[in-house]
Chain A
Amino acid sequence: MLAVALPACDGLHVDEHGQGPALKNARVLLATGGTPGYVYTPRVLASDGTYLWVIDRTARVQRINPETGACVQWFRMPEWELGKPTGMAIGISPEGKGQRAIYVADTHYHRVMVYEFPGDPAAKQPAVALSPRLIASIGSYGNAPGQFVYPCAVAVLPTSDGQSLERLYVGEFGGNDRIQTFDRELKFVKQIGGAGMGEDEKKVEFSRPQSIVLDVPNQRMFVADSINHRVGVLNLQGELIRWIGKPALTGQAPGQFSHPRGLTLLSDGTLLVVEFANNRVQRIDPKTGESLAVMGRTGMKTGELAEPWCIAQVGSRFFVAEGKANRVQVFDQMW
């Protein structure tokens, strides 16, 4: 059968299976392995602006040089036998004073761990094992306010002066399927949404809100409602603005999603959405829901994707973590 290339925006062609071209100038930044600088089933990425942070199934939190892939600092989660984290954010510390902190959604221990952000690594020093100070451990297992079941998404809203924490957002699945917000004291504030299959588009319902990204200037946030195959656009108070995609319309065509898990917001206000089951990245206009580009295709070769979980940006480079391929790839802007 002759593959039909559909013209898409940005000149990137999409084939009949919704697959885009291979990621541009892709290379493997972190290969498979169990030592610092390598990864097993990486599922979390974050950026501190200079370095890339990754968490994988060795339960290591690694700080990575985005150019060389060398691990400069790392620490291990205190417990991991029951499972490893699947969410992380780096943002303003609840202790304020303009300090940063690392927020880890310790998924299988049903808590969010807040660590002090480490100092800059020394130049040319091999991976340093850290013992970061634990600022707080939020939550316990349950479905009451302030409790968690499988927290998987974390987002940090700073105050307007950027010096302290305004609000912390935590997404969960496993039956809770909601977003909870916490104040700077890390006390529960409110719940956004609840478990649902998304049949009523007017309701805020989630089925595995895997990622939350805040668009502070526009006072809105984006939520990857993964199993409902859509992305939610809400204001920072959790009120629904619109849904992009529909549960019933899951698919491979541009603009459709299949298990969207990772999100990153670009400086032009568009959104990159990583789809776990479609093995691709879409660039979406959040105002219209239009798909502006489809990038990546299923496969294990460099430039292809196999179970991508998340995406992060450091400078002008983009990084995607793949669970099945056990690697982190870096690629260039394709639009």
Chain B
Amino acid sequence: MMHQLHTIAQHGGMSLTLGDGVAFSRPIWLYLLIPVGIVLVIIGRKSLSGMGTNLRRVALGLRLLVAGLIIAALAEPQWMRRSEAVSVTTIVDVSRSQPADIVSRTREMMNKASGLARDGDLLGLVSAASEGRVQQIPRPVRIGGDAIDAPDVGATDATNLESGVRMALASISTNAANRLLLISDGNQTAGSLMEAAKAAKAAGVPIDVVPVRYTNDAEVLVDRLLAPSVSRQGENAKLRVVLSATKPSEGLLTVLLNGEAIDLNGDAPGVAKAVSLSMGTNVQEALVRLPRATGPARFEAVFEPVRGADGKLRDTLVENNRAMAVTFVGGEGRALLLTRHPQQAAELMQALRESKIACEMREPNNAPQGLAELGSYECIILVNASRDEFSQQQQEELRSYVHDLGGGLVMVGGDESFGAGGWIGSTLAEALPIKLDPPQKREMPRGALVLVMHSCEMPEGNYWGRRTGEAAIQALSAKDLIGIIEFSWQGGDNWIHPLAEVGDRSAALRSINSLTYGDAPSFDTMLTDAYNGLMKVNAGQRHVVVISDGDPQLLDNTLLPKFAAAKISISTVAVFPHSYGNASGDLQKMKRIADLTGGKYHEVTGSTGNLKSLPEIFIKEARTVKRSLIQEGDPFSPTLVMQSEAMRGIGKIPPITGYVVAGDREGLAQVILRGKENDPILAQWQYGLGRSVTFTSDATGKWAKAWVNWAQYRAFWEQHVRWAMRPAGNPNVRVVTEDRGDKTAVIVEALDDKGEKLNFLRWQGRAVKPDMTSVPVELRQVGPGRYEALVETQNAGAYTINMSYQTGDGEKQGRAAVQAAITRPFADEFRALRDNAALLEQVAQDTGGMVLSPEDITAEGKNPWRREGLKAPISLQPVFLTAAMIAMGLLLTDVAVRRVRINPRAIAGAFTSAFSRGKKAGAGEQIGSLRAARDKAKQMLDERSGLSKDPGSPRDRGGPTTSSEALAKAASNYASAKFEASAEELARSKNASIVDTPSAGDEGRRAQIEQQKAKSADEPAAGEGMSRLLKAKKRAQEEQND
């Protein structure tokens, strides 16, 4: 038996394994075996001395065994089971640079190889693109099975092999030895495959690889487009297009400015320029006149290959044939006003224009796309804008525009703004100097919203169900009521969250996370529950939102009229219905529900991309209950509570008749004007690099009629907009960017008005990345008037950079700002022109795997399920409880052995008599012995009284009374002594066995009695048993008499 001691480094303890069967986690207890054994032997010799030798040995053996088992149980024994199965997890690179049929080719290859798998072997599948995703957890290999339909692989414009390998490692089987099989070209654009390989090696999981080999012999890519970051209106800008070619190529180069092609050809026909490229790097230059309009000028360079003299195209991938760049064309500061109600903003627009602030008005659905374009404005003004007019992306861009680009934001109220516009809980709300959720102590009529969630069969239904629920909850204020109903598989229609105050939202959000998304059969029951719930609460606005695919039943014709009569509206959101169009009964049903109750009908169909609109729909619907935040009434003048720079020279404030209730924000926010109950009306603060101002009344004739004709109306708005605006750019600051691999250098040259270099400027900068996250940009002075910063730019997309600096001190202090944009037009996915099989081979070598190919996957020694180099996993099953229970059983056996006297002969006799016909004889024996005893007694009586043996003889009958009495007495004594002894007779017969006559007092009689006793003692077992009975009976009678 092999003993192995393993040191468990993590826990600092030891374990002991005995062969391949048993392991002990706390083997130190086993040291007690010998001393305890010795003690038990010593004690046992004494305590068991009264037992027979064999019995003593058995009892001692049992004791030792019990003790041994208890000690073993304390040592925490575990049963070790070794698995013989092998699990292979295939990681398939499905990024866009891979061949389109890679999944089907993988399937064919694995089907071919699966014949080599043994019973119990497993196969799993992970896809790797921008991230790794588990497509199939390891399960028994089945020949001929096809892959899951339409696997969801996520974004494919990047290759993150590290994520694929790590995901595979996370999903490997714990009951089998594991291998990974990586199928890829080895080109990765994110992550580090070698790092993941290290993790695999540490886990003892070898990685076999199947390189997907290719070489793009002929390839042209537009490496970058260089343009000045900043320029002035009407200036000429020199553009440089850098192209790389693997072979001499020819093609046409086109440059577009804001989408329109620039004529690069001069007088020749067409606008594109014919270029001949040599192998390697080529640079083409173009001189472009910038537009007169200020703002970002977008350039795009596009290369189109043409066939060479041999008729061949020298280009394979088209995705890498274009590049972009942005030049900010500077001018005077300008503002952008966004509103869906132009007439409500007309006076404000007029006032700003009269103040010489260049201002442009657009509707939200025509708002600038992207941060770079937003950044070309110095101030954004929202007038009575509701949240649902902006996508989630736009909301985030607005926030980042203020925080990271230093832009100014002015939010002006109205009946669809602030909290009433659904902005509570939005990312933009973070940029405002007020809290949109009114304070708890503020008495406001509240709203009640019920969400009815039906799972539908939409993709990622759980995820979208959660997003929509969260969006609706976030849009409500703390005092509003929220309830959630769904059909649960554990109980049918159910209030997952009964109608209750939103509060801090945690309870409601927890309920959203606990939704089970059952397949609801009936709208009738769920809507009935919603109706009954809403009728019990006191709320100003009551509303229901139903999300469903429309197939639950709706047969109760009385239900919807009840909702309408109670003024409870129901909006419906149809998601991925089973049928579309006007002929769809399900969609008609959903529309009818909304129409009959005054709600709205929304349809989210088509592609999964449309699901992104779901949260916005729910926010919009949640606004229905938020009308309660509007405070309207008699005119009153807001109170000036604080002087600010923007209020300089502003006199008496005219009255207003309404506003949206909000609360104070802690920190450095400044409230300038307050309304009733101390509600903030005008507030401002610094947010990141920018500033924001809020005015919760409106700028029109609805709530602020008296303001429109107020003499200081123009000054009020001009001063507040200018206060918020980002400072103007310095025309003497030049910005250029340089590509440095994964990073881009931002180089700034700053001059003053006299052309002198500006040194020791204190810069603040932020860069907004394509994923909308922002990072600080730290500019260091690297030379006279020259400053440089490095920005990470490895991902495709647009990077917007804002840098501002302060000059001077005290009253001469000034601010200036400058912007730049960096673009990476295509994913690095398309930069690779050949495979990177070398990386894969290295991974295989480092982890103990092999390089395989589809052709030889079934060859000897190349089986993906081969066992070489693998360590079979061992599962440990604790058995200490079993040991303890066996010890308990043996302990009872030990007690039985010692306490219960076992007479084998008696046992044998009992068995024999129990199963033989002599059972009756046994009973007869007892009777026989009684009779014999009776006869003996009679004989003795006769002998003593000299009577005949015949008790019935006349002489006996008529004989002396004494003899008869003696006989009767003797009989009585006999009977009593045996069965019915009286107290007197008992006393006499105590020491006698059978009879006691008045004349039995001499020695001879005593001798007889002694003989009788001796005889009784020698009588067979029945007599002995009888004497025991007699004794027992006597004892009982004595007790009774006592």
In angstroms, Cα B1038 to Cα A42, docked, is: 82
Task: Name the residue on B nearest A176 (C-beta).
Answer: B585
Scan A99-140; emit 1 where CB is below 8 A from any B CB, else 0: 000000000100000000000000000110000000000000
In angstroms, Cα B136 to Cα A57, docked, is: 17
- The smallest C-beta distance from B310 to any residue of chain A, in angstroms, reads 46
In angstroms, Cα B363 to Cα A248, docked, is: 54
In the complex, are the beta carbons of B555 and A196 less than 8 A apart?
yes
What's the count of A-B pairs with C-beta under 8 Å? 82
In the complex, are the beta carbons of A126 and B578 less than 8 A apart?
no
In the complex, are the beta carbons of A207 and B555 less than 8 A apart?
yes
Interface of B is mostly: loop
In the complex, are the beta carbons of B585 and A208 less than 8 A apart?
no
In the complex, are the beta carbons of A35 and B555 less than 8 A apart?
no
A173 on the B face (CB < 8 A): yes
| The one of B145, B147, B519 that contacts A37, using a Cβ cutoff of 8 Å | B145
| The one of B148, B489, B524, B551 that contacts A150, using a Cβ cutoff of 8 Å | B551
In angstroms, Cα B579 to Cα A264, docked, is: 31
- The smallest C-beta distance from B149 to any residue of chain A, in angstroms, reads 7
A177 on the B face (CB < 8 A): yes
Interface size on A, residues (CB 8 A): 36
Given contacts A58-B149, A207-B553, A279-B489, contact A259 B585 (CB under 8 A): no
In the complex, are the beta carbons of A127 and B145 less than 8 A apart?
yes
A235 on the B face (CB < 8 A): no
B589: chain A residues at CB < 8 Å are: 175
Interface size on B, residues (CB 8 A): 31
In the complex, are the beta carbons of B142 and A82 less than 8 A apart?
no
In the complex, are the beta carbons of B579 and A227 less than 8 A apart?
no
| The one of A82, A208, A226, A323 that contacts B578, using a Cβ cutoff of 8 Å | A82
In the complex, are the beta carbons of A141 and B579 less than 8 A apart?
yes
A149 on the B face (CB < 8 A): yes
B54: chain A residues at CB < 8 Å are: none
In the complex, are the beta carbons of B142 and A37 less than 8 A apart?
yes
B457 on the A face (CB < 8 A): yes
Task: Name the residue on A nearest B549 (C-beta).
Answer: A83
A298 on the B face (CB < 8 A): yes
In angstroms, Cα B556 to Cα A72, docked, is: 45
A197 on the B face (CB < 8 A): yes
In angstroms, Cα B156 to Cα A309, docked, is: 38
B498 on the A face (CB < 8 A): no
- The smallest C-beta distance from B556 to any residue of chain A, in angstroms, reads 6
B556: chain A residues at CB < 8 Å are: 197
- The smallest C-beta distance from B690 to any residue of chain A, in angstroms, reads 48
Interface members, chain B 116-145 (any A CB < 8 Å): 136, 139, 142-145
In angstroms, Cα B148 to Cα A174, docked, is: 30
B492: chain A residues at CB < 8 Å are: 258-259, 277
Interface members, chain A 12-37 (any B CB < 8 Å): 33-37
A56 on the B face (CB < 8 A): no
In the complex, are the beta carbons of B519 and A33 less than 8 A apart?
no
Task: Name the residue on A nearest B586 (C-beta).
Answer: A174
- The smallest C-beta distance from A125 to any residue of chain B, in angstroms, reads 9
In the complex, are the beta carbons of B519 and A323 less than 8 A apart?
yes
Given contacts A276-B521, A277-B492, contact A83 B457 (CB under 8 A): yes
- The smallest C-beta distance from B110 to any residue of chain A, in angstroms, reads 12
In the complex, are the beta carbons of B579 and A35 less than 8 A apart?
no
| The one of B491, B521, B579 that contacts A208, using a Cβ cutoff of 8 Å | B521
B524: chain A residues at CB < 8 Å are: 197, 227
B342 on the A face (CB < 8 A): no
A241 on the B face (CB < 8 A): no
- The smallest C-beta distance from A96 to any residue of chain B, in angstroms, reads 34
- The smallest C-beta distance from B554 to any residue of chain A, in angstroms, reads 8
A166 on the B face (CB < 8 A): no
In the complex, are the beta carbons of A126 and B143 less than 8 A apart?
yes
A298: chain B residues at CB < 8 Å are: 489-491
**6 new A-B contacts at CB < 8 Å, known A82-B578, A141-B583:** A37-B145, A57-B457, A83-B457, A141-B579, A298-B490, A307-B518
* Pairs across A and B, CB under 8 Å, 30 listed: A35-B142, A37-B142, A83-B457, A83-B578, A126-B142, A126-B143, A127-B144, A127-B145, A141-B583, A173-B553, A174-B551, A174-B586, A177-B555, A197-B524, A197-B555, A197-B556, A207-B555, A227-B521, A227-B524, A227-B553, A258-B492, A276-B521, A277-B491, A277-B492, A279-B490, A306-B489, A306-B490, A307-B489, A323-B489, A323-B519
Query: Chain B residues in contact with chain A, CB under 8 A?
Result: 136, 139, 142-149, 457, 489-492, 516, 518-519, 521-522, 524, 551, 553, 555-556, 578-579, 583, 585-586, 589
Query: Chain A residues in contact with chain B, CB under 8 A?
Result: 33-37, 57-58, 82-83, 108, 126-127, 141, 149-150, 173-175, 177, 195-197, 207-208, 226-227, 258-259, 276-277, 279, 298, 306-307, 323-324
4 closest residue pairs by CB, A with B:
A35-B145, A34-B148, A277-B492, A324-B489
